Amino acid sequence: MGPRKPLIGVIGASKPKNRDPENAVAVGRLIASKGWIVICGGLEGVMEAVSRGASEKGGVVVGILPGGKASDANQYVTIPIATKLGYARNAVIAQAADSLIAIGGGPGTLSEIGHSLSFKKFVVGLDSWAVPGMIPAASPEEAIAFTEKQLKKLGLI
Amino acid sequence: MGPRKPLIGVIGASKPKNRDPENAVAVGRLIASKGWIVICGGLEGVMEAVSRGASEKGGVVVGILPGGKASDANQYVTIPIATKLGYARNAVIAQAADSLIAIGGGPGTLSEIGHSLSFKKFVVGLDSWAVPGMIPAASPEEAIAFTEKQLKKLGLI
Amino acid sequence: MGPRKPLIGVIGASKPKNRDPENAVAVGRLIASKGWIVICGGLEGVMEAVSRGASEKGGVVVGILPGGKASDANQYVTIPIATKLGYARNAVIAQAADSLIAIGGGPGTLSEIGHSLSFKKFVVGLDSWAVPGMIPAASPEEAIAFTEKQLKKLGLI
Amino acid sequence: MGPRKPLIGVIGASKPKNRDPENAVAVGRLIASKGWIVICGGLEGVMEAVSRGASEKGGVVVGILPGGKASDANQYVTIPIATKLGYARNAVIAQAADSLIAIGGGPGTLSEIGHSLSFKKFVVGLDSWAVPGMIPAASPEEAIAFTEKQLKKLGLI
């Protein structure tokens, strides 16, 4: 096989606000268009929106689920990983992702941001928490541009 | 998207014995030929052999890694999930798989068999541990035939 | 403080058979009498029996619970650790214990035995699975005698 | 046995700043004086300081360690739980604690705060992150007073 495809963690709340759903759909489309893989929590809200966007472009979506049933995944997840780890699965998403994009988000997303930054991962924020070390982006396109630069730095593209 | 592809857990030792590597390559080829996905521990031995077999047929291989680096995965893994959970990741493989095939194996494999059976998963054994509840198969082909029957029963194919 | 007290993992089914409950109560009493700590799954069956035995002798019982509520623990657990990790918590028990005693047991216990042996832990079996590497004991007293020898070897007592 | 003792999660960085160490020692002393149990990450920095404070008052200190060895714990931990879960253990601390106190802290602490708030836990902050939902305290004594009120509300004292 050729080199593996980058895994982009997309994190955000199950109850999104304002422009979060549109942003997540746009981010999903852009990730899939680049040939990258979405890794997310696999449930509803931002997770479903990014999955839908990636799915529209034929992308692969890995859903790291907190529960034990693959059927918990939203309908756009192509590879459901039913962990039954509860929200310890947030640490797995942060660890497994090559780079992350946070869209909006509540305290669960904050836990993922904290894990990601403590793992020295690159985290772009789109209308998200403002935590030192995160890179704010003004649009889905900018979030992807920052992510692309990071993937190049990591030698993954 | 259409229905998701079944995830077949393939478990076995990093230090395989006897015919384990050939069996694992054959099982990997058969899984990929069916259009199913391999989910395994992502490292060497049986894990690498099944990944290689699936890769030869263009299949998807999810590697649920115990460590924190995607680069720990063998070269045939297409989607490395670096969990940093240590061997608690064995429970994740058992939980996420729709059906499992154990090939040979040491105590780590035994932990995966125990988890799988306690989760009421279907586990086919190929020269593996003999645990009540497991289904012994005489060949890779038979292991796949038993697995296919189970996937039909689950409504996944 | 002085040296820490040894943690003895006691593993067994939530639905015990035959003499398992009496054996577990006796093992719990003996562990607490030695001044060691019981670490177990914290639920019912063998877990509750060993907790009861230790409690009768004023011992400390750590219950590593699969769910998210401390109130899931049986009434004899003195330190409930609600992990919400599901059965991945079995790997935690195996890892955290200095030495283990398996009493009877179904597939969940088998997963704990597999994890323990793969972590090179000492596992005594009392009417339990017969896995190469486990040490069979004929009575609670013998299980404790074997365990005591191992703790000395580890320099913990 | 009587009712179990409350578990107070104390979270903070391994590299503490300013008054964090003194605050952590004071918090540890106060927790132990109340007869409550400290649950923390078991390593150095704030974790070691709170363990030392509790230890001085004869308290119990549970250390939920990211690695696989009990000997990784600081010397004041009385019950080391070597999880080998990596930083997914942060979710376990948040889940297992009845109430939490954050002292200073970097991104790892932020992940614990995020988990705790998403689990609807009560989190007092002492010179820590300012996250909506956290309760800021001006001193160790005030942190304990807020915690005590919460434990009463939970019916644990």
Per-residue pLDDT tens over the stretch A110-145: 999 999 999 999 999 999 999 999 999 999 999 999
Region of residue B88 (phi > 0: left; psi between -120 and 50: alpha; otherwise: beta): alpha
Q: Is D81 on the interface with B (CB under 8 A)?
A: no
**Residues, chain D:** 157
Q: Tell me, yes or no, whether A14 lies in a domain.
A: yes
Q: Is D131 on the interface with B (CB under 8 A)?
A: no
Q: Tell me, yes or no, whether C97 lies in a domain.
A: yes
- Rounded Cα distance, B14 and A5, in Å: 25
- Rounded Cα distance, A109 and D111, in Å: 9
In this structure, which amino acid lies at residue D143?
A
Q: Tell me, yes or no, whether B13 lies in a domain.
A: yes
Q: Choosing among D92, D93, D118, which should be mutated to test the A contact, i.e. which has the most A CBs within 10 A?
A: D118
Torsion sign (Cα): A42, A47, A49, A51:
negative
User: Which pLDDT score, from 0 to 100, does residue B3 have?
Assistant: 73
Average pLDDT over every residue of A77-101: 98
Average pLDDT over every residue of C99-114: 97
CB contact under 8 A, B86 and D85: yes
- The CATH number that applies at residue A96 is 3.40.50.450
Q: Tell me, yes or no, whether D1 lies in a domain.
A: no
Select the residue of D68, D83, D86 nearest B68 (Cβ to Cβ).
Answer: D86
pLDDT at position D2 over 80: no
- State which residues of chain B have pLDDT below 50: 1
User: Which pLDDT score, from 0 to 100, does residue B1 have?
Assistant: 44
- Rounded Cα distance, C115 and B133, in Å: 19
Q: Is A58 on the interface with C (CB under 8 A)?
A: no
Calculate the alpha carbon distances from C89 to B93, C147, D84, D109 in Å.
14, 23, 11, 22
pLDDT at position C92 over 90: yes
Per-residue pLDDT tens over the stretch A42-80: 999 999 999 999 999 999 999 999 999 999 999 999 999
Average pLDDT over every residue of C85-99: 98
Percent of chain C at pLDDT above 70? 99
Q: Tell me, yes or no, whether A2 lies in a domain.
A: no
Q: Is C69 on the interface with A (CB under 8 A)?
A: no
Instruction: Write down the mean pLDDT value for chain D.
Output: 97
pLDDT tier at C118, thresholds 50, 70, 90: very high
Alpha-helical runs (H) found in chain C: 20-34, 46-56, 89-96, 107-118, 140-153
| B45 touches B14 (CB < 8 A) | yes
Q: Tell me, yes or no, whether D2 lies in a domain.
A: no
pLDDT at position C2 over 70: no
- DSSP tag of B70: G
User: Which pLDDT score, from 0 to 100, does residue A1 have?
Assistant: 44
pLDDT at position D1 over 50: no
Domain coverage including residue C138: 7-153
Contacts of D84 in chain B (CB under 8 A): 85-88
pLDDT tier at A3, thresholds 50, 70, 90: confident
- DSSP tag of B43: S
**Given a contact as 3+ CB pairs under 8 Å, which chains touch D?**
A, B, C
Q: Is D64 on the interface with C (CB under 8 A)?
A: yes
How distant is the Cα of D33 from the closest Cα of chain C, in angstroms? 16
How distant is the Cα of B96 from the closest Cα of chain C, in angstroms? 12
Q: Is D85 on the interface with B (CB under 8 A)?
A: yes
User: Which pLDDT score, from 0 to 100, does residue C79 have?
Assistant: 98
Per-residue pLDDT tens over the stretch A20-30: 999 999 999 99
| A128 touches A104 (CB < 8 A) | yes
pLDDT at position A99 over 60: yes
Q: Tell me, yes or no, whether D157 lies in a domain.
A: no
Q: Tell me, yes or no, whether C1 lies in a domain.
A: no
Nearest chain C residue to A82 by CA: give it: C86
Strand, helix or coil at D90?
helix
Average pLDDT over every residue of D43-67: 98
How distant is the Cα of D53 from the closest Cα of chain C, in angstroms? 12
- Angle, helices C107-118 vs B107-118, to 10°: value is 160
pLDDT tier at C146, thresholds 50, 70, 90: very high
Please indicate, yes or no, whether the overall pTM of this predicted structure exceeds 0.90. yes
Count of domains forming chain B:
1
User: Which pLDDT score, from 0 to 100, does residue B85 have?
Assistant: 98
pLDDT tier at C71, thresholds 50, 70, 90: very high
